Structure 1
Amino acid sequence: MRADAFLAAAEALPVRSLREIVPSGGIVVVAPHPDDESLGCGGLIAEACARGVPVRLVVVSDGVGSHPNSPSHPPERLRSLRESETLAAAAALGLSAEHVAFLRLPDRFVPASGPEAEAAAGAIAAAARSCGAGALFVTWAHDPHCDHGASAAIAGLARTLLGGVALHAYPVWGWTLPPATEVGAPPRGARLAIHPHRDAKAAAIAAHRSQTTDLIADDPDGFRLEPAMLARFGREHEIFLEIAP
């Protein structure tokens, strides 16, 4: 199926409640980079926290690839900044810092297999066990970013370790795929209405100031989320695709 048709169908998936998507147990959100959790799952996290559903957030990469040439923010400082932004974002969504883990794999070089990937999968599985998770949520494997695809593969390894926990994918950069890209079978899954949490989600995204403002202005190759991308994630639903075992 072409990406344009797939994503249009994804935007028409049925609207379901959190407990229809995850009938029991907690949830683990796997974010390739600091900010993906807020963009793709901010409403989900806020809804779960509001309903007392246990949540764990696992951030896979160290995030230092966003501004690789900044004199003012060398890797160690940038990593610290991005982690503090993530904790602020989590707090805006109702998630405490103790439930956020940073795996610190190298941004732009997250492995999809091998010992490091297996160790990351083990960390995700441990987070899932700690909250009795009924489901994992990770970026879509077709997102056109190497770390997003690798994180999807790692979450798949974690699912195997957990013995069949449900796995759901959330598109982030998938929305930018060329329309004719082939992405496989039609989507299965659901949309979650996040209207009650849109302000919290907006605050969480805004907490990632290094990615949404000119906070780091000394790297001509530095990354910044464009207004159109931010508008995409300000809508009233989040999309979660069912990933078959």
Structure 2
Amino acid sequence: MAARLSSPAETPYTSPERNFRRRVTWVVWCAGVAVLLATNLLHRHDEPSGPSPTSRAAAAPAPSHPAAPSHPATSSASPSNDRPAGKHLPRSAPTRLLIPKISVDAPFTDLAIDDTGKLQPPPAGDTNLVGWYAKGVSPGETGAAIIAGHVDTTTSAAVFAGLGDLEKGDKFSVERSDGRTASFVVDSAETFAKDDFPDNRVYADTPDAEVRLITCAGTYDRTVRDYTDNLVVFAHLV
């Protein structure tokens, strides 16, 4: 089963600016959104050990959160044990995400896997908050760091409302608890169908320090109470 982000059980907020700004539907992520992470990130030799993700559970009628893949992601881009790491910073927790182009200036919260193997989302009540998978790669560290944030709640737009506007070459930064700032450049912003989500490409280990900004996208299907797609912004450390 492909990794994907979950979506709301309620009808999402729709701002009047959306149809003016684009002809396609806004990417939307609600209070039930969360991020999957390939288990190879849990077993990196330089990461603290974390709970072993379980296999996916069946979707519940209420808002659900994604389960971690049941098998480690692999990729031809994954470094071998004797391959030197690329440009990177030492491990340090992120404290703030800054994306000037879309006016994001948001603090971080830790995201953790629960005992069912699902990654818990950031609190839905704070529309200016992003989360990172704290037992995975930190932003700036070698590998693919995972950052998630709400775009909409049922009442208002939220921190990632403009994430779909990011393009190749756009820059953003992550302030870290060690006092350093990790600066990133966007490589691409791509939308994937949830039933055909490229786990390996998104979550596989990388020889350089990279970031994935992830949210939901596509149209909201009120019948299944789910969004059709996921938006992923790929970026690398500079």
- Is the strand fraction higher in 1 or 2? 2
- Is the helix fraction higher in 1 or 2? 1
**Bigger relative contact order, structure 1 or 2 (CA pairs below 8 A, ≥6 apart):** 1
